[in-house]
Structure 1
Amino acid sequence: MWHRDSDRYKLFTRRALMLGAGKGLLLTGLAARMYYLQVLESDRYRTLADENRISHRLLPPPRGLITDRFGAQLAVNRQNYHIMIVREQTPDVRRTLEILNQIIDLGPGIIERVERDVAKRRSFVPVTVRDNLTWDEVARVGVNAPDLPGLIIDAGRSRDYPEGPHLAHTLGYVAAVSEKELNGDPLLELPGFTIGKSGIEKVYDLALRGKAGTSQVEVNALGRVIRELEREEGESGNTVVMTLDLELQRYANQRLSRQESASAVVMDIHNGEVLAMASHPAYDPNAFTTGISHRLWNSLVNNPYSPLSNKAVNGTYAPGSTFKMCVALAGLESGIISADQRFFCNGYLDLGNARFHCWKRGGHGWVNMHNSLKHSCDVYYYEISQKIGIDRIAAMANKLGLGTETGIDLPNERSGLIPTKDWKEIQLGKRWQGGETLIASIGQGYVLTTPLQLCTMTARIASGKAVKPHLTRDHVAPDGISSRQNEEFPDIQISRASLARVRDGMNGVSNELHGTGYRARIDIKGMELAGKSGTSQVRRITMRERQTTGVLDNDDLPWKYRDHALFVAFAPIENPRYACAVVVDHGGGGSSVAAPIVRDLLIKAQELQSARPGISAADLPASAQLRPKPPQSEEGEG
């Protein structure tokens, strides 16, 4: 009996010792773990606790400015007052908004939209009611603040374009970030952050954005901000200095405003700087910054004059007779024809069973290259194009900057089209026909160019250099370092003699009696221009129309069926500095409609050159002011 109790006692003791040892090990492990967490890892967990308590938030940086070549501000950041509501601070959100709507106009659907936004967010999170309050509206809300519990007026920054429509197509605009534009950059996810959507704002968006700042705020478990602990302001974006001359740009827009639809480009032929680029009609980019209405958007999209399109870069037109300089150079450089060689024009040329007409029904008689440009004789170019062929013409056109993108710093530039035999075979699956060469030689048919390309062509003819246009001079960083250097353009690889012959013909157009552009000449000594007119058909003239009613005048046709009016020129003749191209959509004759605009723009450019810096339009000589439209040239044009 005693032995049995002794065995039980020993068994219990062993089990108790084992259990005690197990508990001891557990307590030891727990103590070691607590020591590890509270002593050895204390700094790490203190940091994690702070991170749960401290919220790091990005601060949007001020967007960089855009200025003209002389520092005039073209795109700035203005103070923007907006009103917000905090749900927990007002007993009745809808009632407060209805009272606010009696004080300032909120617009349709705003109250319902705010109610939806308030319901989605925590009660202490502010919800924007309306942006872009005027100072008068801010004052009215402030006076009535006791009757508007929960409302907060805050000040931010928004993009502003002081010149409005004058620079809409070149500057572009900024707007809110869309979902497809989110790329992981946390800056793009900030509420109300805007990015460049078109124009210079889009091309140089990264340079203009700047560097975000940071704010450290203490928050509670619900995310409510308790206090701001630290703040580091961001760096503003770079200032982009454009090549544009604001005074000339304003004048170009004013000059084009007489037309339903038109575009113009003025360029420095030595460095490719675009001094003015205008497209009419335009739109107000500030409407996009503040949030464009559906009604306004639809009116812009459905406008037959295409105010949203930058016609100087995106518009493609048959160049008409302005293309004849290209054909003349192709003929001279081929060695197949000479400038003194003459062809007889009796008003038409027959090829097979087709007849190709000159613009002058009775013809021009015997014509050499100089007179072919001066009088814009079509038959002359029919003749030489048959001898040199379309491929030589296309090669020269490409050399002059036609049929290919110029590379200007704007989005969505169109390349136009200079056809070749291979192009037609590949694109249309058909062989090139001889008659198509004749049509192309006078800038019709498949040939398409942009006004910017025509200005580039003119600059290359005037300078003999492979000039490339650009719109920005510098991207100036906050430390003042500029990123653009002066560019030296290579020789265009066209003989000086050939270029001189063509320039001489352009001089005849503008400065010799009976030249197609004579009535739009510059008669100020030392400022004379040399140019070339062009009229581009947009409809087919049938043989029946020629034989019965005769070719209808543009004034007798609906606007969309009228010819495009073109004119290109450089000035001054003795020491060329500026090139200009103008296209008036469905404007009629190039010499009567487009040439006077080119003349006035080149006068303005030259007078501003001598009057700089800081001269206002009111101080300019009277000869730079708008002139009445001259009568059409006696000789007409091709």
Structure 2
Amino acid sequence: MRRPGRDTAESQRRITRRGLVVGGLQAGVMGILALRMRYMQVEQADQFRLLADENRINIQLIPPTRGRLFDRNGAVIAENVPSYRITMTREQAGDVDAVIARLAKLVELDPDELERARRDLRELRGDTPVTVADRVSWGAISRVAVNAPALPGVLPEVGLSRRYPATNDYAHVVGYVGTVSDKDIERIDAPEQLLRLPRFQIGKIGLEAKRENQLRGSAGTRRVEVNAAGRVMRELDRQEGQPGADMQLTLDNNLQSYTNARLEGESAAAVVIDCDTGDLLACASAPSYDPNLFVRGISVSDYKALLEDPYRPLPNKAVQGIYPPGSTFKMVTALAALEDGQIALDDTVYCPGYMEISGRRFHCWKRGGHGNVDLHRSLRESCDIYYYELALRTGIEKISAMAERLGVGVQFDLPMTSVAKGLAPTREWKQTNRGQPWVIGDSVNTAIGQGFVLASPLQLAVMTARIATSRAVTPRLIKSIDGVEQPTGHGDTLGLNENLMREVRKAMFAVSNSNRGTGYRSRIIEDAFRMAGKTGTSQVRNITSGERASGVVNNRDLPWERRDHALFVNFAPFDAPKVAVAVIVEHGGGGSTAAAPIARDITLQALYGEDPPLEAYPAADRGRIKALQEKLRRARPQTGPDGKDRA
């Protein structure tokens, strides 16, 4: 059937319109492409010329600046200093051996460091920069930069390295950083690429390790253009990372320095705590070491010397070392018995010099005994028999509960390595850990701080601060982070009978200020700063009955490692406690002779904020103290708020 002419003409018009539309669209697309091609070939010709001939874009990580550490007054404890190094990238270098040979003519290369670099160049990804020379001079950097065309893949860099200006003063608290090792990578779940940068440093121990994530910050990135020879042509763009957080510690630089100097020559530890805030004002372990030695890798000989030192410089004795607290524990036993109503303040116990318990004789340190003693005299003269009797009446469970209430056997949450929990033993603990039932002799030993009970100097300082204030003072190490103040350790009330606490404090005052007190020779004369304390001697060997019959061998006549540990705890001023102090001298002998003088000197330094006047010391000690102050003044720099030395 033939279509009408009118329909045929209409169809032709429609086809023509569609063809014009399609053709217009095609022409428009072709025009846009032509303009784009012209833009790229003419206006961007220079840019694409640079990208040609095997040029390419590299994305590189920018290491963040590690957060700095300051003392409570703003003195620098840990900082970052420029460090010049030379790196090489294998896939950009081509013939690695030839490039290293040319580099060796310009820069002196350490053989050991070069061997490590060759290994890394073989094993790491080809686009990973490897450090071939570290800590080089500015002159070496300049020579490499001038000869860059002949050194493909070689790049002189300015990085940052950690430095500890106070050297050994903060080694045990702050720790140190070191280059990321394979073991570090294995310990971290999903390690970020930043950790694989050459010689990138992370915290290894101490605060540096415990607060690594905050101190490290986050990496930035930059896009750079390199040519076929591996030379950087230009930086296209940069995105800065986030620097690590700056932290202000509670420690006082001058007091920390003094405490370390005062402990010199001993295997010892000391802790000073602020009774109001719980701030650690000093936390020292002796002997110490220079953490700067570890930053770039300590030598075998230096590390061996530290390991073989009988005084054990590497462990932090202040928080990691745990010791029988000796007679410094007697306040715990006394408060447990008084709170439980097992004894009254004026009740007396007769001390003949020993006590027979279950067929075994337990001795007092005073061979002839003390006679009748009450609470005050028992603490003042450190009678052991009084506390044996309290243990029999009170029982180990209540003594251990009081110990934990005062901080012994508690693992405090501080950002330091291996903070010890100590031990306040119970019947269950012995059955579980020793497979033996608790016996009455265990309670007797615990009552005088021997046997199974163990405490760190940190715990003894906390215990003393809690007795001084009747509050659950908690130690604090970080004062602020990026200027934001952290919660203090002021603590709530312990809920103990304040009348009983007051009497225990008075007895501690007598220890240091009564001429019958075991700590009298190390008293403070200045009325405003008089202290209350307690001596302690911790046995490290068993004394046989035969030795007791013939006379106990004096500590001075024993080999060093068999001598008793010496301890002393105190708080001051007595009427308004500001600081609490704990000192232990390993194998120092008696607490009154070895530990108490050190604790007294540190206490006065903390209260005065500088070398105390000689009038604060007993007259008989002033000549010795003057000579000691002069010696220590020469040995330790005084620093101002800016961290710089001051006269």
TM-score band by shorter chain is 0.7 to 0.9
1:383-416 CA distance string (max 9 Å, x none): 1111111111111111101012122232321111
Match of 2:245 among 224, 238, 243: 238
Matched AA of 1:443: G
Please tell me whether residue 198 in structure 1 is matched to residue 205 in structure 2.
Answer: yes
Matched AA of 2:309: N
CA positional deviation for 1:193 = 1.9
CA positional deviation for 1:115 = 4.5
Structure 2 counterparts to residues 395-474 of structure 1, below 5 A: 395-474=401-480
Question: d(CA) in 1 for partners of 2:524 and 2:174?
Answer: 31
SS in 1 for 2:506: helix
SS in 2 for 1:581: strand
Please tell me whether residue 278 in structure 1 is matched to residue 279 in structure 2.
Answer: no
Counterpart contact for 2:476–2:488, Cα < 8 Å? no
Counterpart contact for 1:424–1:432, Cα < 8 Å? yes
Q: Tell me the equivalent position of 1:500.
A: 502
1:169-204 CA distance string (max 9 Å, x none): 111111222221442423223222222122111222
SS in 1 for 2:135: strand
1:283-332 CA distance string (max 9 Å, x none): 21111211222332233233322211111110000000000010010111
Distance 1:343 1:152, change over 3 A: same
Q: Tell me the equivalent position of 1:560.
A: 561
Please tell me whether residue 66 in structure 1 is matched to residue 69 in structure 2.
Answer: yes
Question: d(CA) in 2 for partners of 1:123 and 1:185?
Answer: 18
Q: Tell me the equivalent position of 1:540.
A: 542
Please tell me whether residue 77 in structure 1 is matched to residue 80 in structure 2.
Answer: yes
SS in 1 for 2:395: helix
Counterpart contact for 2:250–2:280, Cα < 8 Å? yes
Counterpart contact for 2:536–2:566, Cα < 8 Å? yes
SS in 1 for 2:567: strand
Structure 2, unaligned runs of 5 or more: 1-25, 41-47, 626-647
Distance 1:621 1:144, change over 3 A: farther
1:549-601 CA distance string (max 9 Å, x none): x2111111111111000000000011111000000011111000100011011
Distance 1:186 1:83, change over 3 A: closer
CA positional deviation for 1:495 = 0.7
Counterpart contact for 1:88–1:123, Cα < 8 Å? no
Q: Which moved more, 1:327-336 or 1:152-161?
A: 152-161
SS in 1 for 2:66: coil
Matched AA of 1:165: N
Question: d(CA) in 1 for partners of 2:202 and 2:125?
Answer: 28
Structure 2 counterparts to residues 238-387 of structure 1, below 5 A: 238-259=245-266, 261-387=267-393
Matched AA of 1:71: G
Residue-pair matches, total: 568
Match of 1:161 among 159, 164, 169: 164
1:343-385 CA distance string (max 9 Å, x none): 1111111112210110001111110000000000001111111
Q: State the identity %.
A: 45
Please tell me whether residue 172 in structure 1 is matched to residue 175 in structure 2.
Answer: yes
Counterpart contact for 1:173–1:201, Cα < 8 Å? yes
Distance 1:301 1:475, change over 3 A: same
Counterpart contact for 1:132–1:290, Cα < 8 Å? no
Distance 1:405 1:85, change over 3 A: closer
Counterpart contact for 1:563–1:585, Cα < 8 Å? yes
Matched AA of 1:166: D
Matched AA of 1:495: N
Q: Tell me the equivalent position of 2:192.
A: 185
Matched AA of 2:300: H
Matched AA of 1:484: Q
Distance 1:274 1:180, change over 3 A: same
Question: d(CA) in 1 for partners of 2:373 and 2:56?
Answer: 88
Q: Which moved more, 1:621-630 or 1:367-376?
A: 621-630
Question: d(CA) in 2 for partners of 1:547 and 1:328?
Answer: 30
SS in 1 for 2:529: coil
| TM-score normalised to structure 1 length | 0.82
Question: d(CA) in 2 for partners of 1:121 and 1:432?
Answer: 59
Question: d(CA) in 2 for partners of 1:607 and 1:80?
Answer: 40
Please tell me whether residue 109 in structure 1 is matched to residue 112 in structure 2.
Answer: yes
SS in 2 for 1:508: helix
Counterpart contact for 2:572–2:580, Cα < 8 Å? yes
Matched AA of 2:173: T
Counterpart contact for 2:278–2:488, Cα < 8 Å? no
Q: Tell me the equivalent position of 1:24.
A: none
SS in 1 for 2:605: helix
Distance 1:432 1:193, change over 3 A: same
Distance 1:153 1:361, change over 3 A: same
Question: d(CA) in 1 for partners of 2:353 and 2:624?
Answer: 29
SS in 2 for 1:311: coil
Question: d(CA) in 2 for partners of 1:56 and 1:83?
Answer: 19
Question: d(CA) in 2 for partners of 1:467 and 1:189?
Answer: 42
Q: Tell me the equivalent position of 1:490.
A: 492
SS in 2 for 1:211: coil
Please tell me whether residue 229 in structure 1 is matched to residue 231 in structure 2.
Answer: no
1:108-160 CA distance string (max 9 Å, x none): 53444444555668999864233223xxx444775799999747643210111
CA positional deviation for 1:488 = 4.6
Distance 1:369 1:155, change over 3 A: same
Q: Which moved more, 1:272-281 or 1:207-216?
A: 207-216
Q: Which moved more, 1:308-317 or 1:124-133?
A: 124-133
Q: Which moved more, 1:195-204 or 1:91-100?
A: 91-100
Question: d(CA) in 1 for partners of 2:409 and 2:389?
Answer: 23
Structure 1, unaligned runs of 5 or more: 1-31, 609-616, 631-638
Question: d(CA) in 1 for partners of 2:351 and 2:488?
Answer: 47
Q: Tell me the equivalent position of 1:131.
A: 134
Question: d(CA) in 2 for partners of 1:157 and 1:346?
Answer: 68
Distance 1:125 1:358, change over 3 A: closer
Question: d(CA) in 2 for partners of 1:241 and 1:539?
Answer: 43
Structure 2 counterparts to residues 558-637 of structure 1, below 5 A: 558-608=559-609, 621=613
Distance 1:123 1:193, change over 3 A: closer
SS in 1 for 2:606: helix
Question: d(CA) in 2 for partners of 1:603 and 1:115?
Answer: 56
Question: d(CA) in 1 for partners of 2:329 and 2:623?
Answer: 28
SS in 2 for 1:602: helix
SS in 2 for 1:312: coil
Counterpart contact for 1:62–1:236, Cα < 8 Å? yes
Distance 1:290 1:214, change over 3 A: same
Question: d(CA) in 2 for partners of 1:93 and 1:220?
Answer: 17
Counterpart contact for 2:145–2:156, Cα < 8 Å? no
Counterpart contact for 1:100–1:141, Cα < 8 Å? no
CA positional deviation for 1:231 = 1.2
SS in 2 for 1:394: helix
| TM-score normalised to structure 2 length | 0.81
Question: d(CA) in 2 for partners of 1:108 and 1:220?
Answer: 30
Counterpart contact for 2:221–2:240, Cα < 8 Å? yes
Distance 1:436 1:513, change over 3 A: same
Question: d(CA) in 2 for partners of 1:215 and 1:627?
Answer: 64
CA positional deviation for 1:60 = 0.8
Distance 1:302 1:167, change over 3 A: same
